[in-house]
Amino acid sequence: MNTKLWGSAAATLLLAGISACSQKQATLSYEAVPVERRNLVVSASASGAIEPVLTVDVKSKASGEIIGMNVQTGDDVKEDQLLASIDPRIPRNNLAQAQANLEVAQAQLGNAKAQLARSDTLFKAQAITQTEYDGARLDYANANASVIRARSDLENARDRMNDTKLRAPLAGTIITKNVELGTVISSPTTDVGGGTVLFKMANLDTVQIRALVDETDIGKVSPGLLSTITVDAYPNRPFEGSVLKIEPQATVQQNVTMFNVLVRIPNPNHLLKPGMNTEVEIHVGRRDNVIAVPNAALRTQRDVASAAQVLGLDPTQVQQQLATASQQQTPTNRDSASLGGGTARRDSTAAKPDSAKPAGGNTMTTPDGRTIQLPPGVTEAQIRSAFQKRMSGQELTPAEQSAMAAMRQMMQRAGGGGGAGGGGFRRNTGEASSYIVFTLKNGKPTPVQIRTGLTDLDYIEVVSGLTEHDTVLVLPSASLLNAQRDMQQRMRNVTGGGLPGVQQQQPTTPARPPTTTRP
């Protein structure tokens, strides 16, 4: 195929690409999403491991060789159930000796009692002296003490005999077995080393997780909050629990401050085993069956003009429409605005829109073209330097660590600095805020001021301004639109100057026959 045909085919493909790109641009200008009711759950994420609420080391008071083993690791046992047997020969012999000693003491007590009775009679008849009578009384007292001592020894011998049968101190599960048949163990009552641990038991009917929660989220966590727990062993089966308490001492890991949060989980079937790694979602906020819109549909006063341009509207006219609607809506109407048949909550402390905030302080432009506010005392150079060091694995200076911590806290309070919608919004608070959305009215995009509540970073609760019969417009991000405009400009440059590679091939002129010069 000659060069002309190649150039024609390439130009045709290029024009087709430009047409497709234009169609894609028209498709991506906005997406109409119906307003609907949803359940919003906002949670603080953490990780941890399953651990028993109570763990008991089982030891034997008796020393000797293990001659019977009745349980294995993983067995569920009841309280006072037989676990193991220890050689009873020495305790049995001691028991027999104690019984014999008691019989001797009782016989001696009988003789001493009879002797005291005779001595009493003789003393009254003045047949014996006071010293002899006192000696008889002393013999009776010693014999009585010997009986008591023998009975005590007998009870101790019986207890030592019973100790050769090791029984469960509580109902639970055998999680560790440290001995086998034939092992000679020592008693903690006689061994200064603490004795031999035969088993480790735990009650797994209720387990707990010691989850590490970031300090930016710990203020939202309180005892009693519901939690959802997932483990790798059962990825499609979440478990429900509740927050028990928050430990006061912080833990620092890789310059990140975290707090231990104890979460209790009912575990009736013992599916959760100690040591399982878990992901915990602590539900810090929940709204059921509320009107919600995608966060990407939210706009603030800062970016409403660019959104209007994307939709082909006049930015000045859009601002006038918003101002007129704001003036027409009296405070009474705003407080009693209908929300899908319900009444909006009144919040006298509701946050004002971002446009009402003072614009003082340092700012920073992100790679996607957004301008974000920097914390007081933090400069753009510090943030960029800290990011570069962190990406390259270098250690941050204390000043850079403080700047990053302040930036992280500010981004958390502002909902991460905004999302695809281009407007920053509060995360997890549920406080009412004002935003702008574009809706379709009579087939034409129209700006509407709304008040919002709780957000889960995908959808946000609409307190007032919209109903279930409305449709909101979700616009692409500014970075995507800029990339599309750059692509179109490059396409136009290519079509205006010719295809690269093809334009270097100059059209060939038909060869002329050689001229002959005659002399």
| Strands 165-167 and 363-365, sheet pairing | unpaired
**pLDDT category, 391, cuts 50, 70, 90?**
low
Mean pLDDT value across residues 313-317: 81
In CATH, what number is assigned to the domain containing residue 220?
2.40.30.170
Nearest Cα to Cα of residue 474 among 450, 451, 441, 440: 440
Residue 6 lies in a domain: no
Residue 384 lies in a domain: no
Are 237 and 280 members of one domain? yes
Are 346 and 413 members of one domain? yes
Residue 170 tokens, joined: 């509580």
What is the predicted pLDDT for the residue at 351?
A: 37
What is the predicted pLDDT for the residue at 488?
A: 60
Residue 182 lies in a domain: yes
Mean pLDDT value across residues 462-468: 88
Total domains in the chain come to 4
pTM of the model: 0.52
In this predicted structure, the answer to whether residue 430 has a pLDDT above a threshold of 70 is no
| 32-63 pLDDT tens trace | 888 889 888 888 888 899 999 999 999 999 99
**pLDDT category, 143, cuts 50, 70, 90?**
very high
Range(s) of the domain holding residue 60: 54-87+165-202
Question: How far is residue 315's CA from residue 310's CA, in Å, rounded to a whole number?
Answer: 10
- DSSP states along 45-96: EEEEEEEES-EEEEE-SS-EEEEEE---TT-EE-TT-EEEEE--HHHHHHHH
Point out the least confidently predicted range of 72-81, 200-209, 443-452.
Answer: 443-452
Mean pLDDT over all residues of the chain?
76
In this predicted structure, the answer to whether residue 319 has a pLDDT above a threshold of 70 is yes
Q: Are 226 and 79 in contact (CB under 8 A)?
A: no
Are 317 and 451 members of one domain? yes
In CATH, what number is assigned to the domain containing residue 92?
1.10.287.470
What is the predicted pLDDT for the residue at 144?
A: 94
In this predicted structure, the answer to whether residue 155 has a pLDDT above a threshold of 80 is yes
In this predicted structure, the answer to whether residue 270 has a pLDDT above a threshold of 50 is yes
Residue 389 lies in a domain: no
